[in-house]
Structure 1
């Protein structure tokens, strides 16, 4: 009855679709219009993707930090490395330019040369006062020279903050208001205000201004993602339509297919709007992914329609058979592909969860769309002419099939030997793969903002904030001299680490206080002794309540202190080494019974999140393999067939992993995604082949060789067509300026190409070589349901049986 239900269901469905085609088509138009209205709910991510669950210890520590000191990623820096800056005209222009940003409500604080204050000692009463570094609104050449000398030689407090001593680069800091950092207001300010102002200044004064800081990097990165979405969609449509037209040589078939996938893209955007998911680097690839995966559906459906027309010339019967004969098989392959994506939804990463949900739903929706749109549109159109069917007998396709058949019949040892060599070489390559947690690695290297990042890394030793939270376990514990000395020891350790910049903390202010007490002499820029502290304390008390540095780096209770450093774009492994090196020294400086010291900050969260995400992706890939293996077991009811079906699909994945090792492509979220996507898609060819093989065995009275070669001939053309479309379709991602997206495109294309060869050469070879153990009625039991409906003779018998019942 399972067989009859499968055949009968699709037969009945075909009748429903063709009888109600007008209503169904109007419904599709209505849903598409509704989905279009949901686009208004789409939004781009305005913050870094947090790949860790909310209850992860690293996230908990970060939230604790935010409660004490607020948002830490609100700094935008602008720098000039130009000796002509220290001339009266240009210095005044630079100061006026920076002051102009104070007028904007998005800006909380501006620190530039014009805003610098000098800490000075005053008597009667004893106090410290902040006086302007530059007092006049206009200055002479002599004054400018004096300012330059004093800044670089007498104000060590501002080194790393306002200037780089090694190259005399000057930078300004714009602090955005913390409540707008993760909103679209930030983007509007940077794109509409900051960038045009910088460009105008550069043009007028012939100076090169470098811009960086996490808000700026995130905004420019997000803008690049937005710009690339439309490029990807157009490129995917163009490439797949050209390949489709090359195979079918039919403008009509090409336009119908494009209509189906374009509607699929509109539904994909609509679903993102309905679910109110942010568009991230991952969800941004879903619309072009829909196009690339949708075209193979169209190839199977249109190819079958044209084959039926060529066979008997009856349009209505042909459309019915498209649904009954291809619908079930195409549904199963789409289900396996969707299952591969759906495993992401079972991870604890929000980023992967959203991607998995949207991708899997869209793949199933895309199958329904392709089936309905193609059959309904063709039902209203004239029957294909002879010229539309010419591609079915192409000579070069026949030659390709002859070559594959000859390899499988006579060169199986060569195929096995090549497979073993690939396996050994791949395993060696896998051992050289590294894990990368770089926040900047995937960003477009040719973009101006990336070149600016490199400039700041070189001049100021990093741009990504790394925060250290010191808990003294007692109120006012930070300001104790013993604690300050311990913090200074830690800062010296950080300064000795080449991947980190000069730290900033309350220690800097305390050292500056001593320098001010000794009338600004820079050699006294150091922690005061206990005796000196008693002299300085009366001066410092009047200053502490007014100091913004105090509030920024010590909490209101005086129990918690913050040390901020900036790190270069180091990978996960290098960061782990830094932590491992610092940990024992840190414990020695801050005994655990008296202090709690923890590293936090967005840069660290991203790196920890990368490792967590890689683990989740490995889990999802393993789960996908298990699910698809269970699916094969359900279809074929044979564990031997499961093993045989997995071999040609796992080998290409191992080969790709080995290739990554040899090419130096690290494991990171974008590249490990390759394996789940490629496995979910490549196993479709295996299902098509084995389903046809199972059918041919029965038709040919269990004659193995004849059944294998017949299956190769029958499914080979469609597998070649679809794999070619997928290869070039995913290659579209290689035009991306994002390293991760580019790697995703290249690696998936490569994997699918080798998966096609494995399914067309290795799989049939295994079936022929293992014929005695697997090709018998005991091993190949009757499947739970038929993926491919019966042949014409079987079909007629089943129809007769249905009528009798």
Structure 2
């Protein structure tokens, strides 16, 4: 530290005061120092000391054995490689070629489903699996419909969603009696109404047209059900003959007056699917909501890229709507040039032209976002990144051969890594985006560190030979011609590099593998996508290490690569190398101030809910814009649900368990409570029974002209034999239990598929209650979710997520809430918790690993302190850069952690090689720090291509990561050596040995003039 150096111009009073201050400071610590020395002395004189010395000798002997083995192995291995470098490169390229074809199908391994992010064992996970087992739908597909009444300017008309013409077009899209089994695309999207999605992938549909079809066909099914239960329905109802088609009349009536009547009877149910967005009294906007089967592999939909999945269904729907609809759906081919009344004026310039029928919903949006991000990265960022990386290498190394030497191993390691994921069918997610920068960063790091060290050793060997040649010439002796590619020089330079920098690379690879293995621990990381990132990193780091150690020396020899020199750049790093020893206090204090600020903001900034807004999706996405509008206009979008299970109750009143009227009444009461939660609207069997009206005539006498719900709750069931209630006498022809069964059989197979589980012979035992909510921030969403769960828990504590008693019926249970909202909340909580735990465990595991590998807990602690500082500085950058926590930034800490550890290990290992002296630290920083700068600059050059992608969230991700990588460079090259200097100075002073660091007086740091060893190679 400068305050301890001696001025040649003589002491000054100020300087004497400073010396006195530090002397008194260390004198006050003398008692504490003496106590520690005595404790250490006593410990070393005890049996514990003997055990320590025995262990130390054992470790040293083992280390010496490994060292001798490593030297011999390196000599043999690199001797073989340097004899036939071309053959080695060719063999490795051929091995890589075997994985290139599978790697090209890497995109097929990416699963875009939201629920795969659910933590293992979470209530939402258990509930979601139970919902799918029914099978019910958890994946929602929406068609957002807008008539010309929603348009503006000269395109505006007076079309109403409930016009017969519009409803007929929507019905054709869905599939009805008019196009049933017409074949191919003409069948509509839901060809089979009673297959629960097994054939066409659609379990159910809810829409204005479906509700009208349901009501239009209900009287026929009602009469058939009445006949089924033994009641006379009159000669006009030939149900026995027509029973082969249970959907009779499942189409839109031709009569507008009939449609209007059905609309009025449907009431609030149909109003959930239509809106008047401009206040002119015309319903101009509607939605068709479809529940999709989760596993579509056995369906009849055409394959897409060899797969039958949701993406294949979306592709099929796009073809049907926009290519094959023709005259059957004029709306499908309409696009409005002018903005519609629902568009957000603040974003009117970026919203694409609105189609009258727009595919949207969470499932299509997620798949489209995933595909577009992949295409942005592959088609835009990757080519630009390759060019910028090549330019960076060329500028820094001033030799075009470095592009092959450093770039080829990286490209091959990525191909092998991603090829392995395809070959072994490892499921990946968009979160894998975080693995590529780590592997590229480490690949650049390994290649350039090894390349530079080989070059540095070659220069030293050439200098030695030049010095001997100069002495020989001085003495009049003949000197040998110096060939920089002399086999002895090449082998010696390579072996020395492998035993020094190669050792650091191995330590780095081992450390990062051990650290990232934490991501694969199931008990610690319950989120599968994070575990697959961990698995990919373990494979990738090992492959990158192996290829770097084998290919870099072979390519250097094969291409006769020599690094170009610039005296200015080298002198600059010579000066930078002096910073840790000249400005120790300044560096430490600055780092402490920034770290304290980062800690103060850490919880607030990093604890934010994971956002997924407009900045996180590609621009001009019609599906996303329609989903945003749907959430605002319809106050929906997030489909949540809870289950009512009466399996244990069994049949009590002569009906299937879930058809029991007391259960339906309890569901209604539960719905009223849930509907009182803000932003929440429920739909259940109760709503459907209230919406379906029937009129029944028996022998010319009108008995019913009510909704099914009103019929079931008619007081005449209790007065059918009352002589004073003649209006109820007709009810004696049936029983209330039979009427319950009749009412349920009146519901179409589609509605039953949506709301009840499949009848396996004992009647339906479960039903779903849907709780729809708009997309709202997760803070408020969590409050609402907790409020709903409090209602669903009832007065007694739930014995499990599926066994709550709020339904208040014996042997009948309800579940907690599941679906879009709980899934989002649990994913958010799971990611935050897993990140916090993995960061803590990674630091702990790495600390132990480095303490063992360095054989120095002290250096391990210093290394982790430097790396941890960068992680703690991230909140500052996010706060002042206006960047929130999103699905991209959530993994930045892991990336920087991996690369930061690597950089710090290289510095520490070089300091160990050069010696923990002022001169050793300066040389380590000036040489290895320069290489770290080159690797950081190269990695940042590649990442800067991310600024060319069109997704603001991704741009912020890459900018933030580049800044953090630069900070990782500073902490490893400046802060870490400064910590070592501070510790050495403090230890020397407190032990009474005087100043350890007397930089300005010490001649140990003076540079001796050396002969320029850069000899241009003829190769």
TM-score norm. by structure 1 comes to 0.83
1:507-558: CA deviation from partner (whole Å, max 9, x where unpaired): 1122224787998789x98796462676695665434224232343133444
Work out whether 1:376 is the aligned partner of 2:554.
yes
Give 3-state SS (helix, strand or coil) of 1:561's partner. Answer: strand
Q: Which of residues 849, 862, 865 in structure 2 aligns to 1:644?
A: 862
Do the aligned partners of 2:75 and 2:495 also contact (CA within 8 Å) in 1?
Answer: yes
Between 1:297-306 and 1:587-596, the stretch displaced more is: 587-596
Q: Which of residues 660, 664, 672 in structure 2 aligns to 1:492?
A: 672
Tell me the residue number matched to 1:62.
128
Work out whether 1:19 is the aligned partner of 2:83.
yes
Give 3-state SS (helix, strand or coil) of 2:624's partner. Answer: helix
Q: In 2, distance between residues paired with 1:236 and 1:515?
A: 67
Give 3-state SS (helix, strand or coil) of 2:511's partner. Answer: helix
Q: 1:744 Cα deviation (Å)?
A: 4.3
Do the aligned partners of 1:306 and 1:389 also contact (CA within 8 Å) in 2?
Answer: no
Do the aligned partners of 2:636 and 2:775 also contact (CA within 8 Å) in 1?
Answer: yes
Do the aligned partners of 1:75 and 1:176 also contact (CA within 8 Å) in 2?
Answer: yes
Q: Would the alpha carbon gap of residues 515 and 301 (structure 1) be closer, same or farther in structure 2, given more than 3 Å must change?
A: same
Q: Which of residues 692, 714, 720 in structure 1 aligns to 2:927?
A: 714
Tell me the residue number matched to 2:769.
563
Q: In 2, distance between residues paired with 1:364 and 1:746?
A: 28
Q: In 2, distance between residues paired with 1:332 and 1:271?
A: 24
Q: Would the alpha carbon gap of residues 158 and 18 (structure 1) be closer, same or farther in structure 2, given more than 3 Å must change?
A: same
Q: In 2, distance between residues paired with 1:527 and 1:165?
A: 32
Give 3-state SS (helix, strand or coil) of 2:102's partner. Answer: helix
Q: 1:365 Cα deviation (Å)?
A: 0.9
Q: Would the alpha carbon gap of residues 677 and 353 (structure 1) be closer, same or farther in structure 2, given more than 3 Å must change?
A: same
Tell me the residue number matched to 2:742.
542
Q: Which of residues 593, 608, 611 in structure 1 aligns to 2:826?
A: 608
Q: In 1, distance between residues paired with 2:596 and 2:924?
A: 30
Q: Which of residues 570, 576, 590 in structure 1 aligns to 2:807?
A: 590
Give 3-state SS (helix, strand or coil) of 2:837's partner. Answer: helix
Q: 1:497 Cα deviation (Å)?
A: 3.5
Q: Which of residues 631, 634, 647 in structure 2 aligns to 1:460?
A: 634
Q: In 2, distance between residues paired with 1:413 and 1:592?
A: 72
Do the aligned partners of 2:171 and 2:252 also contact (CA within 8 Å) in 1?
Answer: no
Write out aligned runs for 1:160-199 (5 A).
162-164=273-275, 168=283, 169-174=285-290, 176=292, 179-180=295-296, 184-191=308-315, 193-194=317-318, 197-198=321-322
Q: 1:80 Cα deviation (Å)?
A: 1.8
Write out aligned runs for 1:729-740 (5 A).
729-733=942-946
Work out whether 1:470 is the aligned partner of 2:644.
yes
Q: Would the alpha carbon gap of residues 301 and 411 (structure 1) be closer, same or farther in structure 2, given more than 3 Å must change?
A: closer
Q: 1:653 Cα deviation (Å)?
A: 0.5
Q: In 1, distance between residues paired with 2:844 and 2:312?
A: 47
Work out whether 1:208 is the aligned partner of 2:208.
no
Q: Would the alpha carbon gap of residues 655 and 513 (structure 1) be closer, same or farther in structure 2, given more than 3 Å must change?
A: same
Q: In 2, distance between residues paired with 1:292 and 1:735?
A: 20
Q: In 1, distance between residues paired with 2:881 and 2:565?
A: 43
Q: Which of residues 316, 321, 339 in structure 1 aligns to 2:493?
A: 321
Give 3-state SS (helix, strand or coil) of 1:468's partner. Answer: strand
Write out aligned runs for 1:93-132 (5 A).
96=172, 99=175, 102-103=187-188, 106=200, 108=202, 113-115=208-210, 116-117=212-213, 118=215, 125=233
Tell me the residue number matched to 1:625.
843
Give 3-state SS (helix, strand or coil) of 1:467's partner. Answer: strand
Q: Would the alpha carbon gap of residues 642 and 527 (structure 1) be closer, same or farther in structure 2, given more than 3 Å must change?
A: farther
Q: Would the alpha carbon gap of residues 51 and 592 (structure 1) be closer, same or farther in structure 2, given more than 3 Å must change?
A: farther
Q: In 1, distance between residues paired with 2:963 and 2:883?
A: 14
Q: 1:411 Cα deviation (Å)?
A: 3.4
Tell me the residue number matched to 1:425.
597
Tell me the residue number matched to 1:351.
529
Do the aligned partners of 1:468 and 1:599 also contact (CA within 8 Å) in 2?
Answer: yes
Give 3-state SS (helix, strand or coil) of 2:672's partner. Answer: helix
Tell me the residue number matched to 1:675.
893
Q: In 2, distance between residues paired with 1:340 and 1:180?
A: 38
Give 3-state SS (helix, strand or coil) of 1:415's partner. Answer: helix
Q: 1:650 Cα deviation (Å)?
A: 0.8
Q: Would the alpha carbon gap of residues 575 and 130 (structure 1) be closer, same or farther in structure 2, given more than 3 Å must change?
A: farther
Give 3-state SS (helix, strand or coil) of 1:50's partner. Answer: helix
Q: In 2, distance between residues paired with 1:239 and 1:684?
A: 23
Q: Would the alpha carbon gap of residues 289 and 461 (structure 1) be closer, same or farther in structure 2, given more than 3 Å must change?
A: same
Q: In 1, distance between residues paired with 2:311 and 2:112?
A: 8
Give 3-state SS (helix, strand or coil) of 2:132's partner. Answer: helix
1:62-86: CA deviation from partner (whole Å, max 9, x where unpaired): 2222223434325433322541333
Write out aligned runs for 1:217-236 (5 A).
217-231=365-379, 232-236=381-385
Q: 1:621 Cα deviation (Å)?
A: 1.9
Q: Which of residues 498, 509, 514 in structure 2 aligns to 1:339?
A: 514
Do the aligned partners of 1:236 and 1:729 also contact (CA within 8 Å) in 2?
Answer: yes
Q: Which of residues 975, 978, 984 in structure 2 aligns to 1:765?
A: 978
Q: In 2, distance between residues paired with 1:662 and 1:101?
A: 56
1:310-344: CA deviation from partner (whole Å, max 9, x where unpaired): 44152232365235313222222233333333221
Give 3-state SS (helix, strand or coil) of 2:543's partner. Answer: helix
Between 1:363-372 and 1:437-446, the stretch displaced more is: 437-446
1:137-182: CA deviation from partner (whole Å, max 9, x where unpaired): xx8xxx4xx5886576542254365323666322224555564189
Q: Would the alpha carbon gap of residues 407 and 275 (structure 1) be closer, same or farther in structure 2, given more than 3 Å must change?
A: same
Work out whether 1:304 is the aligned partner of 2:453.
yes
Do the aligned partners of 1:319 and 1:379 also contact (CA within 8 Å) in 2?
Answer: no
Do the aligned partners of 2:120 and 2:527 also contact (CA within 8 Å) in 1?
Answer: no
Tell me the residue number matched to 1:753.
966
Do the aligned partners of 1:240 and 1:729 also contact (CA within 8 Å) in 2?
Answer: yes
Q: In 2, distance between residues paired with 1:495 and 1:8?
A: 76
Give 3-state SS (helix, strand or coil) of 2:640's partner. Answer: strand
Q: In 1, distance between residues paired with 2:148 and 2:426?
A: 44
Tell me the residue number matched to 2:541.
363
Q: In 2, distance between residues paired with 1:289 and 1:639?
A: 26
Q: In 2, distance between residues paired with 1:264 and 1:68?
A: 45
Do the aligned partners of 1:292 and 1:726 also contact (CA within 8 Å) in 2?
Answer: yes
Tell me the residue number matched to 1:554.
756
Work out whether 1:280 is the aligned partner of 2:398.
no
Structure possessing the higher radius of gyration over alpha carbons: 2
TM-score norm. by structure 2 comes to 0.67
Do the aligned partners of 2:659 and 2:740 also contact (CA within 8 Å) in 1?
Answer: no
Give 3-state SS (helix, strand or coil) of 1:295's partner. Answer: helix
Q: In 1, distance between residues paired with 2:79 and 2:291?
A: 66
Q: Would the alpha carbon gap of residues 254 and 40 (structure 1) be closer, same or farther in structure 2, given more than 3 Å must change?
A: closer
Give 3-state SS (helix, strand or coil) of 2:564's partner. Answer: helix
Work out whether 1:8 is the aligned partner of 2:77.
no
Tell me the residue number matched to 1:794.
none
Tell me the residue number matched to 1:237.
386
Tell me the residue number matched to 1:399.
572
Give 3-state SS (helix, strand or coil) of 1:25's partner. Answer: helix
Tell me the residue number matched to 2:726.
none
Tell me the residue number matched to 1:574.
780
Give ranges in structure 2 of 5+ residues lacking alignment: 1-63, 150-156, 176-184, 192-199, 224-231, 240-246, 299-306, 337-354, 463-482, 651-655, 697-702, 719-730, 796-805, 992-1019
Q: Would the alpha carbon gap of residues 195 and 256 (structure 1) be closer, same or farther in structure 2, given more than 3 Å must change?
A: farther
Give 3-state SS (helix, strand or coil) of 1:503's partner. Answer: strand
